[in-house]
Chains A and B, each alone.
Chain A
């Protein structure tokens, strides 16, 4: 599948902001399963300086700074991305999860694709006994890893309610776990916590999900959204497999990857520090348009 993507983030500040610095993860990065033919980020007002770099996980990052007062900020990210159909192995014939766990520790690689990065607790993903126990119920002895992981993906979809009002970015996963409610970010974090608690390696994927309008309805402009899911390391032969606990499915051709990190904190689309005395409002609009 090919998509044209447009992601607009707009801030309005209550009082002029004299100084600000931002870090952005907004450019989809080329990966095994996706080709990026075009990508650009336009910023208004024009930042005082702008720099691009690659972070430790291979994501493209834009750093910008503003040193003149401004009362609004608009960031427009556009890209054209082609997603290859993922080559999902037969779950039943994948290695046992215990074998994968042992293999994780034998890696001699600290590179971007190394499983060691996804093995440890991180800022938004502490290890929580009760979450690990729930995951452990799927990971019975010698079960093939992908079979168990898919079961967990579906279990989360079935036992949590999607409720954007229930949580915020800063809500701890223990709280979302207790409420059994949340959004894609919470479900991804909870699933990652469960997998890591068992000694498996899982990463957080920030991206987009194409939404297919209901039959007979027009596609609404800006209705698509940023999305988040999980990438699980399934051993040296299979490597990383995307799993979407919000929808209870493996990641497929509707999932466009922007950035991968240990959790949301590594890949927040826009994070920044501003000198400001007032409040601010933010709006986000995302369009993921399929081509042909």
Chain B
């Protein structure tokens, strides 16, 4: 070895030792980074090397880059105990969890075995029922499980797979082996978040991952998607991600997966069962749904046969499943295998069904519905954890899940002993597992924290299980290493499976020529069309309000320079009428100068720029999968910009500048939408919403400032509001005169801000929509738009007065209503009426 290389190694060693100096694993606890002798484990070497290249400040900066990436992508989860029902940003623990691929391969074998076993159990429980008849599974373990969906007993699934996506929470015990802590089979979440964590860390350490040969995640998702396509059993099948909606805690992930996998995101209200077949309501009518990737709990899936109180479900779905007309992944009732009671029987079931021992150890579990097991748990209460045998059967003490016998006071202990005696069926005893710790970046250095890891298994295109080479690691801020103490104060991090050989880059973009060319993607769901249309309207209304604010602010601050009172008053009137500031009385003229700031930022009125921006964001948030990251970001920026010190004195000076910047945010979104959205139905609805709103606003501006007796000052103001000053100046040398201004702002089909231009676009869009040109008969909306366009085409600007603008406004509203009636879900009619009897 040359002396230069040697000194390089030494330098690196010195840096590494600085990094891990003071890193002390907890007493008696396995640590991922450091072995028993206090030296870093071999597979962490390259990661530490990589990190050691940077100063602590640089590491901090890079971790912040990762955080910013997550924030910019809008990664969030919803927190139910937050009084605002808020979206929280995703807390990243930064340092990845590192596992060598050899160890991972072994772990994968165990997970695949477990997925197969659980799938076989589901097959029996919902099929022949031999496990109970032959005594391998107590009948009460089946009957007591609320996820045992009796309505689907004896119902076959098309593919034979009831568990197409399985996940397990695992942890490493003191013996260094991975233990299964809990099975997830209902609708496991986390895979999408894992993907985002991966992207975030890549962003922070682009070189590190490449030099380290970290296994990629994309092939797993490819396999998963192929598995879903296989369930459909026909080419070009319609596959939906079925979400409970934007209020669900993991909605971000539903939208993210839909986008990433190229699937349709649907809610219950988008789906309808007609006869025995499931359809998606789209703007082109009902389209068959072949496969639903279910992110809704089984109980809520069908109000008719399951939980009658569910507003999220699809009436008749169970019947459609019985008829074999739809595949649900995971099948309804798959949550059955999540029950802790079942864990107790898995070792013997593995032997019986697979002829094998379980490859992965699991938490030792005793189901207290059995006499001797109950006696054992009663006698060892102080050493064990107690937990509900099934989800959600015992209120009170077990509401949080586990309790540790040793933590119980006398009263609780008496209570538990009585419950064990009366209803031991509801409880399991479990051994207490002490988790290993992994390094977390905290206060500028590494420190060990306990973690669990969620890992994912999917059924691929051939029906075989495949494991995601990575996972979703949850690190607790507490130092209590008991497995089950996970919960509050949790951060997440990526899991890197490190290979000795280079890793093939794969992305979800198809390779070579295996994908047939298709130009039309699936039909647009009616609900999405509805939201896109309203997003367009809110945004445009926000823009118009911003223009009024800008014009007003200019004129109130320049009052000394002699703007007359009438136009200013009209602007304020308009803001009151639009609900941007409180009404119905106008503020006193002395207070006019405070109006612009108020109209921007008041949150207690329906029409301030802030409220409109928030409405736009909310509307977009329920169809998030339809926007690029950048477009979403522009909407977030807009709302954030307008959020701020409401009636603060200082804000007044800012109003003009803030309105200007907000207008740029709106323009950024418009640009991104117009450049990046496919000119499909979705874009048409978004753009129609904007066009209608812009035409209405411009008509209102004309009514206020282009009456037959309008002063040049008012006409000048109208040119400002309609953003047509430059065109006007280019066309006319004279100052503002009524006929040319009305012609330019309202009637000129070549001016992209004119009413006529908007009407022409609306007409184009209506014609391009499904069912437009083909059925021969023009829709009501199209007829109304055609009439309006003709009106404008032949109009004489001198004769176009207030009443004509009023008529145009009403026609535009009627077109909006017609579009709603024709294409959108009839929300009211969708109300579920429970229990006729």
Contact = CB atoms under 8 A, between A and B. Distances in A.
A211 B393 CA distance: 38
B154 to A, nearest CB: 9
Interface string A241-281: 00000000000000000000000010011111111110010
A277 to B, nearest CB: 5
Contacts of A268: 835, 837
Nearest to A199: B422
A271 B837 contact: yes
A73 to B, nearest CB: 8
B425 A119 contact: yes
B836 A282 contact: yes
B829 interface: yes
Given A114-B139, A116-B143, A277 B833 contact: no
Looking at chain B's contact residues, the main secondary structure is loop
B132 A109 contact: yes
Interface stretch (A100-108, A151-159, A213-221): A100-108
Given A56-B151, A277-B829, A121 B143 contact: no
Contacts of B151: 55-56
B143 A199 contact: no
A117 interface: yes
How big is chain B's contact interface, by range? Answer: 35 or more
A43 B303 CA distance: 22
Contacts of A271: 304, 308, 834-837
A110 B830 contact: no
Given A197-B422, A199-B422, A21 B836 contact: no
Contact of A199 (B303, B423, B833): B423
B307 interface: yes
B394 A199 contact: no
B140 A107 contact: yes
B305 interface: yes
Nearest to B276: A49
- From B133, B140, B315, B371, name the one whose CB has the most chain A CB atoms within 10 angstroms: B140
B505 interface: no
A178 interface: no
Nearest to B275: A49
Contact of B422 (A11, A110, A198): A198
Nearest to A101: B422
Contacts of B275: 49, 65
Nearest to A269: B837
A23 interface: yes
B345 to A, nearest CB: 14
B140 A116 contact: yes
B328 interface: no
A249 to B, nearest CB: 25
B138 interface: yes
- From B424, B830, B836, name the one whose CB has the most chain A CB atoms within 10 angstroms: B836
A275 B281 CA distance: 15
A196 B720 CA distance: 75
A11 B135 contact: no
A79 B192 CA distance: 56
A105 B135 CA distance: 12
B682 interface: no
B833 A274 contact: yes
A270 B835 CA distance: 7
Contacts of A102: 371
Interface string A41-68: 0000000010000011000000101010
Given A23-B305, A110-B132, A282 B837 contact: yes
A169 interface: yes
A161 interface: no
Nearest to A49: B275
A120 B144 contact: yes
B142 A116 contact: yes
Given A114-B139, A120-B393, A265-B308, A21 B316 contact: yes
B319 interface: yes
A116 B144 contact: yes
Interface string B421-463: 0111110000000000000000000000000000000000000
A259 B369 CA distance: 29
A213 to B, nearest CB: 26
Contact of B833 (A55, A63, A280): A280
A59 B87 CA distance: 46
Given A56-B151, A265-B308, A282-B837, A273 B303 contact: yes
B153 A107 contact: no
A105 B308 CA distance: 30
B731 interface: no
Interface string B564-582: 0000000000000000000
9 contacts: A23-B304, A63-B319, A104-B140, A119-B140, A120-B144, A120-B393, A199-B423, A271-B834, A284-B837
User: Top 8 closest A-B pairs, CB basis?
Assistant: A116-B143, A56-B150, A273-B315, A270-B837, A116-B139, A120-B144, A116-B140, A199-B422
Interface of A: 9, 11, 18, 21-23, 49, 55-56, 63, 65, 67, 102, 104-105, 107-110, 114, 116-117, 119-121, 123, 126-127, 129, 132, 169-170, 197-199, 265, 268-277, 280, 282, 284
Given A102-B371, A108-B135, A170-B835, 13 more contacts: A11-B836, A18-B829, A105-B369, A105-B371, A116-B143, A117-B143, A197-B423, A199-B425, A269-B837, A275-B829, A276-B833, A280-B833, A280-B836
